[in-house]
Amino acid sequence: MSQFVIPKTQTVALVEKSGGTIVMKNDWPVKQQSELAPGECLVKIDATGCCHTDLHAALGDWPLKAKSPLIGGHEGVGIIVAIGSNTAHSPVKIGDRVGIKWLADSCLNCEACRNGREQNCPDAKLSGFNVDGTFSEYTVSFVNHVTPIPANMPSDEAASILCAGVTVYRAIKYSQTQHGDWIVLPGAGGGLGHLAIQYARARGLRVIAIDSGEEKKQLCLKLGAEVWIDFKESKDIVGDVKAATGGLGAHSAVVTTASPSGYTQAVDYLRTGGTLMAVGLPGEAKLEASIFFTVFKSISILGSYVGNRADAFEAIDIASNGHVKVHFQTKDLAELPNVYEGLKEGKVAGRVVFDMCKH
């Protein structure tokens, strides 16, 4: 018997149709233990982060479309209060505090899963996209993919690591860089970017931060960026990067911004043998880069899409050991529409986390 009393209804933030407005529903049904399928778990959410991807899912402006109606959110931390009957060999138990990520579940048996690219599984379930996410008091997730959260890590601090942290950690991990190399981070003051600075520093990399605004400048420099370039003030971003790196250019760039210009410039300011890690997801933009100089400079261009279960464990471990700290604002879930407006205008420095314990 579970020691938790599970209510019949809950409060959720619902997008009733793609491109529509957020509606707060106070009578949304909670899936009961008897309704959970084997392998499913019910998590009572303590805190949930907000990501640019949630905005894209709500707006429906990606080539891939989200389910409708939709409960968004994919950076949730909470307590497992129920597990589906006949779940075999569960790595987690009732009462465990776990994180729910963008990748809610995968088959674990296809070629992509076997090769450690679970996020590319053709049958992947994606939180807040093709299955309901964490903008709710209770969320159904999957025992094989939830991430245990260390006891020393508060839920609100862990929330944003589950997507933003995992995403930039994996991109930096595969950026083909060595200790002491230069890495450029366009969008460095944003939700992904400010975490990328810290993961890069944890790996011994030297950071060039590109973004705009005094608040973001101070945040980036405080977190360890050696060089700051304001893209609204700079007359030559490529020249500025090369000047900071002895004229040779950077060894890698992890582009977290959704602006296509961030990708175009990267090929120009990377040094010979440099690596462009494509992370940000502009909906309709194309990657435009000089084929001649991509070949001539032996540039590698790699797409990096969130992360697998191992990446999540590693990203959480680094953060729980004090090397990465999320800079976030705590808000109430009812403020989600205003947060989306801030994301549209690029005015959100760091992350926003919703405190679900108030509900």
pLDDT at 238: 96
3-state secondary structure 71-88: ECCCCEEEEEEEECCCCC
In the block, residue with structure tokens 């982060």: 49
Per-residue pLDDT tens over the stretch 145-180: 999 999 999 999 999 999 999 999 999 999 999 999
Tell me the torsion sign for CA atoms 204, 208, 213, 214.
Answer: positive
Tokens of 312: 């999540």
Q: Rounded to an integer, what distance in angstroms lies between the CA atom of residue 48 and that of residue 85?
A: 27
Tokens of 354: 């919703």
pLDDT at 96: 98
3-state secondary structure 67-134: CCCEECCCCEEEEEEEECCCCCCCCCCCCCEEEECCEEECCCCCHHHHCCCHHHCCCCEEECCCECCC
Q: How many angstroms separate the most distant Cα atoms in the chain?
A: 66
pLDDT of 2 higher than 70: no
1 pLDDT band, cuts 50/70/90, is very low
359 pLDDT band, cuts 50/70/90, is low
Instruction: Give the Å distances, CA to CA, from 254 to 14, 200, 267.
Output: 32, 10, 11
Parallel, antiparallel, or unpaired for β 182-186 and 250-255? parallel
Identify the CA nearest to 185 among candidates 226, 151, 157, 148. 226
Q: Rounded to an integer, what distance in angstroms lies between the CA atom of residue 17 and that of residue 68?
A: 5
Q: Percentage of residues in the chain with pLDDT exceeding 70?
A: 98
Residues with Cβ within 8 Å of 154's Cβ and at least 6 positions away in sequence, in order, are none
Q: Rounded to an integer, what distance in angstroms lies between the CA atom of residue 145 and that of residue 112?
A: 15
pLDDT of 261 higher than 50: yes
Q: Rounded to an integer, what distance in angstroms lies between the CA atom of residue 258 and that of residue 265?
A: 13
The dihedral over CA atoms of 187, 164, 152, 356, expressed in degrees to the nearest 10, equals: 110
pLDDT at 260: 77
Identify the CA nearest to 82 among candidates 5, 27, 28. 5
